[in-house]
A and B are shown apart, each in its own frame.
Chain A
Amino acid sequence: MSDFSINREVKDGIAMIRVQGFLDAHTFEQLEEVIRAVYDEGCFKLVVDLARVDYISSAGAGVFIGARSESQENGGDVVLLNPTEGVKEVFELLGLTQIFKVAEDEAAAVAAF
């Protein structure tokens, strides 16, 4: 079973959230809690590093849909950094590829706001 972990760092008004492991119906609430904590600090610009997310289901994708909405309502946004092929495939099937900003490196992610 994959260990699930999330690290976050807020710098210059942008939160870098690094996720590792399976993002499914069992783990998505942990990511929601981290995002909530970032919002509570008044930061609504999120970069979510998905390079080490081996698997995502609709529960995981739903976290980003909700976060995108709340971030944009508060002048921010959600940028997905380096999603794996598996994540891209699910986003493609859900029709989310065109909706989210996706960056291939941190500099591009920060510049996307």
Chain B
Amino acid sequence: MIHREMVVPNDTEYLATVREEVTKVVEESAFSERDRKLIIVAVDEAVTNIMEHAYDNDLEGELDVELILEYDATRFEVTIRDSGKEFDPRTLHVPDVREHVKKGSKHGLGIFLIRQIMDEVNYNFIQGVRNELQMIKYVDRSRKPETDRSRN
């Protein structure tokens, strides 16, 4: 198991730093090269959503996003914690991409990508403390437990 934790400012400038850290962890995992790259995309999208939705602009730079990365031979887990306002990304509308393109809509595809890539997306809000978003991907999706809390 690898357990890494990092704290980054609420600033998209740090997305590359987050991706670098995720890259280091998944490089040692049993995931295929393709899945490793996609996991990095999913974490990037989740962190981006938090940066865009959980914090008001005037608080930018004052609050942190916390990442904990774990995996074993069959499972990669990322937990992203922040102390912004309540924001459950699972409530975001998952767009019909064809309609999205037809309208020329530029935003809102992140949650669609996350759901395409990760096997579980769980969310917990602790009143007055923090948001906690957990995403899990299995090397072998058939090993996904039946009793997960995901709406995916």
Binding site for B on A (CB under 8 A): 1-2, 22, 24-26, 55, 57-59, 61-63, 65-66, 68-70, 86, 89-90, 93-96, 99
- CB contacts (< 8 Å) of B103 on chain A: these are 69
- CB contacts (< 8 Å) of A25 on chain B: these are 12, 15, 44, 48, 51-52
Render B1-42 as a binary contact track against A, CB cut-off 8 A, 1 for contact: 000000000001101110100000000000000100110110
With A57-B48, A65-B104, A69-B103 as known contacts, state yes or no: A93 contacts B113, CB within 8 Å. Answer: yes
Task: Evaluate contact between B110 and A58: CB separation under 8 angstroms.
Answer: yes
- CB contacts (< 8 Å) of B45 on chain A: these are 57-58
- CB contacts (< 8 Å) of A59 on chain B: these are 48, 107, 110
CA distance in complex: A17, B107 (Å): 22
- CB contacts (< 8 Å) of B105 on chain A: these are 62, 65-66
Binding site for A on B (CB under 8 A): 12-13, 15-17, 19, 34, 37-38, 40-41, 44-45, 48, 51-52, 97-98, 100-101, 103-107, 109-110, 112-113, 116-117
CA distance in complex: A89, B51 (Å): 24
Task: Evaluate contact between A89 and B97: CB separation under 8 angstroms.
Answer: no
Task: Evaluate contact between A90 and B97: CB separation under 8 angstroms.
Answer: no
Sorted from nearest, which 5 A-B pairs have the closest CB atoms?
A: A69-B104, A62-B106, A58-B109, A26-B12, A66-B106
Chain A residue, CB-CB nearest to B20: A1
- CB contacts (< 8 Å) of B107 on chain A: these are 59, 62
